[in-house]
Structure 1
Amino acid sequence: MPINATEAYDDGNIFARILRGEIPSTRVYEDEQTLAINDINPLAPTHILVIPKGAYVSWDDFSARGSDEEIAAFVRAVGKIAREAGLVESGYRLLANAGLNAGQEVPHLHVHIFAGRPLGPMLAR
């Protein structure tokens, strides 16, 4: 069920549990600030979830409360992951849902990287 982005952080959410090692995942990248995993229900041939390790609900929460170091590391990690996966030449899409109307389902900021086929328009008309 989609969430309200102003909701308090829930440390029992699936990404918090993955970050603590309670749930297995296929890790494709990790540094001090960021974890990237393959999505278990991919919506494209390449579907990677990039997750900051801090307890942030959404992009607006992260941009308001995250340190400059965390924000820079996260943004740089997204680009590095795309480059290392060989996605730059053919193209890729980044998606970060924030809040109920956007369809955010997990109350932990995460960016989807989609690639591997033509992805069509950004939003259905």
Structure 2
Amino acid sequence: MSDCIFCKIANKEIPTQAVYEDDMVIAFNDLEPQAPVHVLVIPKKHIASLLATTAEDKELLAHITCEVIPMLAKKLNIAETGFRTVANTGEEGGQTVQHLHFHLLGGRSMQWPPG
């Protein structure tokens, strides 16, 4: 999608310092962190939100949730103490960029309810 900021980051049209990158995803520090560790994990494929995922995206979603996020939690030293993973969906869910992305937050105690 040509006007999507996360697509521009994934396509290297907007520079960012990747915390992690492979052929399916890129992860980078959030510009407005809500915790000492706040990384965004985004698929390089444009998907508007979790509601827009299809069976075709199973491998990508498994890669993000079963491989990338656990690896990053370990790399960023938050796996032992705990972390929160969030995928905001829709306006009332707090989604501000219409490109699926996962927030990986840690480095402090998370409160409940979150919002």
Greater length-normalized contact order (CA 8 Å, ≥ 6 residues apart): 1
Question: Which letter does structure 2 place at the counterpart of 1:112?
Answer: H
Q: Which of these residues, 102, 105, 109, is aligned with residue 118 of structure 1?
A: 109
Write the distance in 2 (CA, Å) between the matches of 1:65 and 1:108.
17
Q: Which residue of 2 aligns with 1:77?
A: 68
Alignment of 1:50-89 (within 5 A): 50-62=41-53, 64=54, 66-75=56-65, 76-89=67-80
Gaps of 5+ in 2: none
User: Which residue does 2:10 correspond to in 1?
Assistant: 19
The equivalent residue for 2:29 is 38
Q: For the residues of structure 1 that align with 2:68 and 2:56, how far apart are their CA atoms? A: 15
Structure 1: distance between partners of 2:30 and 2:62: 23
Taking structure 1 as reference, are residues 78 and 103 closer, same or farther at Cα in structure 2, changes over 3 Å only?
Answer: same
Distance 1:96 1:67, change over 3 A: closer
- Alignment pair present for 1:102 and 2:86: no
> How far apart, CA to CA, are the structure 2 residues paired with 1:122 and 1:33?
32
**Which one is further off, 65-74 or 40-49?**
65-74
Give the TM-score of the pair, scaled to structure 1. 0.83
1:91 aligns with 2:82: yes
Given that residues 11 and 55 in structure 1 are in contact (C-alpha distance below 8 angstroms), is that contact kept between their aligned partners in structure 2? no
- Looking at structure 1, the residues matched to 61 and 114 of structure 2 have their Cα atoms a distance apart, in angstroms, of 27
Query: Which secondary structure state, in structure 2, belongs to the residue aligned with residue 100 of structure 1?
Result: coil
Percent of matched pairs sharing the same residue: 36
The AA in structure 2 aligned to 1:70 is L
For residues 44 and 107 of structure 1, what CA distance do their matches in structure 2 show?
A: 22
Counterpart residue number, 1:5: none
**Cα distance change, pair 67–118 in 1 and its aligned pair in 2 (3 A):** closer
- Pairwise CA RMSD: 1.5
The alignment's TM-score, normalised by the length of structure 2, stands at 0.89
